Amino acid sequence: MTDTLHLQDIALAHAPAIQRYAADQRIADTASSIPHPYPDGAAECFVRRVLQERVEKKSFVHAVMIGEEFVGVASLFNCLRVPGEAEVGYWIGVPFWGKGYATHAVSLLIALAKSMGFSALVGKCVARNPASARVMEKNGFHFDKESIGCGPHTGDLVREFKRTVM
């Protein structure tokens, strides 16, 4: 079914689905920027913020779609931190786990990064999320280093991966 997966620019119309799926504690457990409990209205605030960041060229956030169905979020962010480099981020709603959607979404992010002129990508995941590490490895990312998380993941071991974009 991944042949119908595509990325769509994030829009306010995606906020209800983001709100529903991001409220699941299993998403917040491994996503550094999603709090739990997920406050009412947080998805709309998130979308408004990233739409502004797109204008500023700081981040490029997309809805991961299967046909017309929202299944998650995939983004290039921290685009201005290091010249030529962006960070990839993604999450897939729990009902859609284990179907290869994250792997496919990241492959689309890589193609997007190439078309935008980025030369390197960084991806991070908490060490207790080996599925996310596999997504990056399947997409040509290589383990770079480990660090200790901050924010909601203070004290968690974080694995960082890198890949060049050619």
- Measured N-to-C along each axis, helices 101-115 and 130-138 cross at an angle, to the nearest 10 degrees, of 50
Q: Which of 136, 131, 15, 23 lies closest to 70, judged by CA?
A: 15
The predicted-structure confidence for 64-98, as pLDDT tens digits, reads as follows: 999 999 999 999 999 999 999 999 999 999 999 99
Confidence (pLDDT) at 161? 98
Report which residue type is found at 22: A
Domains assigned to the chain = 2-122 (3.40.630.30)
Residue with tokens 């408004």: 48
Residue 34 and residue 46 in contact, taking contact as beta carbons nearer than 8 Å? no
Got the DSSP string for 57-97?
TS-EEEEEEETTEEEEEEEEE-TTTSTTEEEEEEEE-GGGT
Confidence (pLDDT) at 152? 63
Residue 63 and residue 5 in contact, taking contact as beta carbons nearer than 8 Å? no
Largest interatomic CA distance in the chain: 41
Q: Which residues of the chain have pLDDT under 50?
A: 1-2
Confidence (pLDDT) at 1? 42
Confidence (pLDDT) at 52? 98
